[in-house]
A and B are shown apart, each in its own frame.
Chain A
Amino acid sequence: QKEVEQDPGPLSVPEGAIVSLNCTYSNSAFQYFMWYRQYSRKGPELLMYTYSSGNKEDGRFTAQVDKSSKYISLFIRDSQPSDSATYLCAIPNQAGTALIFGKGTTLSVSS
């Protein structure tokens, strides 16, 4: 089983839709969880950083962590064409020596 798994999509939604992006992880010792966004021909940029179980909200974005299920989610409300990008979940390994990335979900929001 891979340490971090993410459905690669692609995911296509109309403008204004609510988007749900998900990752599962295998090691219950993981403590920090990140979501990065990567536009075409650019490097990833950090969107959300969470530590504990529960929800963290930032504008139209909500990150959710369920440690009991080893499941993390990113919700995008009122999606916009500018949200079209690849979204990657990332988790520092237990030793804090490397970031483990999911393979990314490619999202396309049409106007």
Chain B
Amino acid sequence: KAGVTQTPRYLIKTRGQQVTLSCSPISGHRSVSWYQQTPGQGLQFLFEYFSETQRNKGNFPGRFSGRQFSNSRSEMNVSTLELGDSALYLCASSQSGIQETQYFGPGTRLLVL
């Protein structure tokens, strides 16, 4: 089975711009979660989608949003980028939720200048 894929792998943006990241989960997985990883804060949960619905949300501002499509692929959007949004954004999929094994993608490294 193919693993979780994320595109693009690297991205450079400037402050104020917006960005969309994409995640394709493992076939058959319906839960997709997004995490932000920084050296200072570590891995922090952004949100989880299941069957096209946002089921859980972490403590991030409304500039961070996402969606899930009927084929379970998910996108994450960050609007009005700030320097502090520079991070590795990881997507993880599982069959049905957080308490199962999460399979992570390689991440998208975002640099905001």
Contacts and interface: CB of A to CB of B under 8 A. Distances in A.
B98 interface: yes
Contacts of A42: 106-107
Interface string B92-113: 1000011101111111000000
A32 B99 contact: yes
Contact of A101 (B4, B42, B105): B42
Nearest to B45: A98
Contact of A99 (B45, B103, B105): B45
Interface in A21-80: 32, 36, 41-46, 49
Interface residues on A, range: 20 to 34
A97 interface: yes
B98 A46 contact: no
B33 A44 contact: no
A104 B42 contact: yes
Contact of A41 (B33, B48, B106): B106
B56 interface: yes
A43 B106 contact: yes
B26 interface: no
B42 A97 contact: no
A92 B58 contact: no
A100 B104 contact: no
Interface of A: 32, 36, 41-46, 49, 88, 90, 92, 96-104
Interface of B: 4, 33, 35, 41-45, 48, 55-56, 58, 90, 92, 97-99, 101-107
11 contacts: A36-B104, A41-B106, A43-B90, A43-B107, A44-B102, A46-B103, A96-B97, A96-B99, A97-B56, A98-B58, A99-B35
